Structure 1
Amino acid sequence: METPPRKIIHLDMDAFYASVEQRDHPELRGQPVAVGGARERGVVAAASYEARQFGVRSAMSSALARRKCPALIFVKPRFEVYKAVSQQIRAIFAEYTDLVEPLSLDEAYLDVTHSPRPLTATELAREIRTRIFQETQLHASAGISYNKFLAKLASDYRKPNGQYVIRPHQGLAFVETLAVGQFHGIGPATAARLNGLGIFTGLDLRQQTEAFLRQHFGKAGSYYYAIARAEDHRPVRPNRVRKSIGSETTFEHDLTTLPELGAALLPLAESVWKTCERTGAKGRTVTVKVKYADFQQITRSRTGFAPVPTRVALELAALELLRTQVPLEKGVRLLGITVSTLEGEEEPGRQLALGL
């Protein structure tokens, strides 16, 4: 007997941080708002839809955002407020299914295949979105499909404040028309590599063998092979395992020497290590992220056979990775440290050498 298709909803709050600020401060409604630091070296954490019309995006430098939108209003983030609102929203989810996998404060997957409510997945998504607005005065968008990959794609399709469904007989046709850069899980660098191999669309991707994709992309190649066929068997996991612990900072002035960078690493390592101690997490992979003054970004990582044992060991590992970039050809505006391959995480394979 064939198993009936799952019913997955991806709920995504619209411009969440910025929308909370506009809700709580009526004078900001209808205005271009950026949540983040207004200083020259600040970064936009979130942008309202009014700001997005000018090309302002999250992770953009505040200086560039202000050039794109001179009338942009910067608001300091209030993460405790965003977290409290997120908990309100998750309480609503819990009334419809026990299978909720939060991805962040503002998005989550819901498996409503066996929801106690006698409604279709499309009706459930609409009702949940209505409840969210009634209780928080915030809008959410939803994607509905038979797997996580398609549900997440669908939630972008009618933003803001809309929803879209991809039914089982529509999945393959929907995927084949997309540019590979639109696939969740394929970032700009991977999209460029795929384009270099003559792969531009989902249809192009589907025409490749799994062996070919694994040859060029390793284990991720099998994932690309599957999603090109609209296949994704990952379950919705209510207790999602944390995959990394990180900390980063943007500097007021570019750093240009190893001693300066080494000094800047110390508080980052301390922050990461405190989180490791508080959560009891231990990781084997240390990654250093460097963003240069021209916004070029690189990462360097090393994975050992055993978890990093102490804060000092974390500092030394990060410093050693940083030394691979010396002498510096340009100033550094941002530095970050991440510990990953945490105990309990499914391991993609051990990488002992330095790598991008």
Structure 2
Amino acid sequence: MVQKRYIVHIDLDSFFVSVERKFNPSLIGKPVIIGGSADRGVVASCSYEARSFGVHSAMPTRQALKLCPHAILVRGSHGRYGEASREVTQIIDETVPLYQKTSVDEFYIDLSGMERFHNPYKFATDLRHRIMRETELPISFGMASTKTVAKMATNQAKPNGQIFIEHGTEMEFMAPLPIRKIPMLGAKTCEKLYSYGIEKIGDLQKVELRFLETVFGRAGLYIWNKARGIDTSEITPHGDRKSISTEHTFDADTADMRTLETILVSMTEELAFKLRKEGKIVGCMAVKIRYNDFETHTLQEKISLTAAEHILIPGIKNLLKKAWSKNKKVRLIGVKLSQLTTGSNQINLFDDNEEQIKLYQAMDTINFKYGDKTVCRASGMEIGTRNFNPFLANA
């Protein structure tokens, strides 16, 4: 007898918006757009109020504001989102035996076998309520026999709802939905199916496998299975992340070396602080440059394990000099620190004297208490974006 699978797909509703509303309740009930500048940025996330005007993620911010002129544009905070994601992850990690984190706001959980001791749907419901209670964030979930159907169920449960697709009802649940609702079914594939009059998943379920293989080749079987909710993919256990990174898109393209270095130093300092906060050290660093013609270059270098910016920053600056083509203007710049491993900030890891260690400990203590960048290096001050700080550490 084949064991029934109970797969839960969890999605934090309008995650970035929900986090911002948690810190600024005046945004509740209003159209909110999280994204870059009005002229050059794109929409990272938007509230359901903004979506009703046709706004969606990955849309140019300029276009979004034309569709919804009264929307509130928020630049967003990666630090806030990362912390909120970690809170949710910790709750899930403490509660379930097997889960997979697929993005900052999305999880798959395998509760198969739990039905012998607990009601899986009630268990998932209690987990959802706990996450909402402890994080104050809205969350939706779908439960089904496969990852594909569970994800589709979550999308139907939004906003802030839950659905259980009982075993044997998968095709019935999927039939009335548009074919574009099938996860990983691309726009070109949908257009091809539309040309044959196939618009609903129910229409696709009636098509013979031979026809799909004739039209799509090997992908035909994949499409045929997906339309029937057939998905044997397993939950890949969650593991520690292997890298940490950040990027900055300039409002105006620049070829000024001092500006590029200033931004890189600031980002490196921020990442190094996060590493120390999480008890991590890195063995590789990289610089990413995207020019105004969208040509992108990445240069990396292996280093001795560290989480100290006074070691990282000179290396990052050196990579910038090697990677940058001076006759081109830069649109985006980024820093990535990889090969993460657990490690404390011992003197041998910093390869420095005790006074340097005490300086880091003092800086981190203040930043832990009062927030990131309360104390930072003068060389990392972004031009025109921070006020004078009397606690500034001269470096």
TM-score range, shorter chain: 0.5 to 0.7
Pairwise CA RMSD: 4.0
Asked if the contact 1:171–1:230 (Cα under 8 Å) also holds between the matched residues in 2, the reply is yes
Report the Cα offset of residue 167 of structure 1: 0.7
Give me the whole-angstrom Cα distance separating, in 1, the residues matched to 2:250 and 2:179: 34
- Percent identical: 35
CA-to-partner distance for each residue in 1:166-199, whole Å, 9 max, x for gaps?
A: 1112112122222211211213221111111332
Match of 1:93 in 2: 92
Instruction: Say which one has the larger Rg.
Output: 2
In the superposition, relative to structure 1, how do residues 92 and 241 fare at CA in structure 2: closer, same or farther (>3 Å)? closer
Counterpart-to-counterpart distance in 1, 2:161 and 2:183: 19
Report the CA distance between 1:57 and its aligned residue.
1.2
Contact 1:97 1:115 survives alignment (8 Å):
no
In 1, Cα distance between equivalents of 2:60 and 2:291: 24
TM-score, with length taken from structure 2: 0.62
Runs (4 or more) in structure 1 with deviation over 6 Å come to 246-254
1:229 aligned onto 2:257: no
5 Å-filtered alignment, 1:28-107, equals 28-107=27-106
In structure 2, the CA distance between the partners of 1:247 and 1:130, relative to structure 1 (3 Å rule), is closer
**Whole-angstrom distance in 1 between the partners of 2:291 and 2:129:** 50
Asked if 2 retains the 8 angstrom alpha-carbon contact of 1:47 and 1:56, the reply is yes
Q: 1:77–1:223: structure 2 CA closer, same or farther, 3 Å change rule?
A: same
Alignment of 1:328-343 (within 5 A): none
Q: Is the 8 A contact 1:12 1:107 kept in 2?
A: yes
In structure 2, do the counterparts of structure 1 residues 143 and 265 end up closer, same or farther at CA, with 3 Å as the change threshold? same
Taking the aligned partners of 2:192 and 2:246, their CA distance within structure 1 comes to: 28
State the aligned residue count. Answer: 282
* CA separation of 1:39 and 1:265: change in aligned 2, threshold 3 A: same
The Cα of 1:58 is off from its aligned counterpart by 0.9
Structure-2 residue corresponding to 1:283: none
* 2:215 aligned with 1:216: yes
Q: Distance in 2 between matches of 1:211 and 1:249?
A: 49
Q: 1:108 to 1:169 in 2, by over 3 A?
A: same
Q: Does 1:113 align with 2:112?
A: yes
Q: Structure 2 counterpart of 1:30, which letter?
A: G
- The Cα shift of 1:201 comes to 2.2
Q: Is the 8 A contact 1:86 1:105 kept in 2?
A: yes
Task: Note if contact 2:102-2:108 (Cα within 8 Å) is conserved in structure 1.
Answer: yes
Structure-2 change in CA distance of 1:177 and 1:241 (3 Å): farther
1:26 aligns to 2:54 (yes or no): no
Aligned mates of 1:117, 1:92 — CA distance in 2 = 23
Higher helix share: 2
Q: Is the 8 A contact 1:96 1:112 kept in 2?
A: no
Q: Is the 8 A contact 1:210 1:221 kept in 2?
A: yes
Say if 1:226 and 1:80 are closer, same or farther in 2 by CA, change over 3 A: same
- SS of 1:19's equivalent in the other structure is helix
Runs of at least 5 residues in structure 1 that lack an aligned partner in the other structure: 255-260, 279-313, 316-333, 336-356
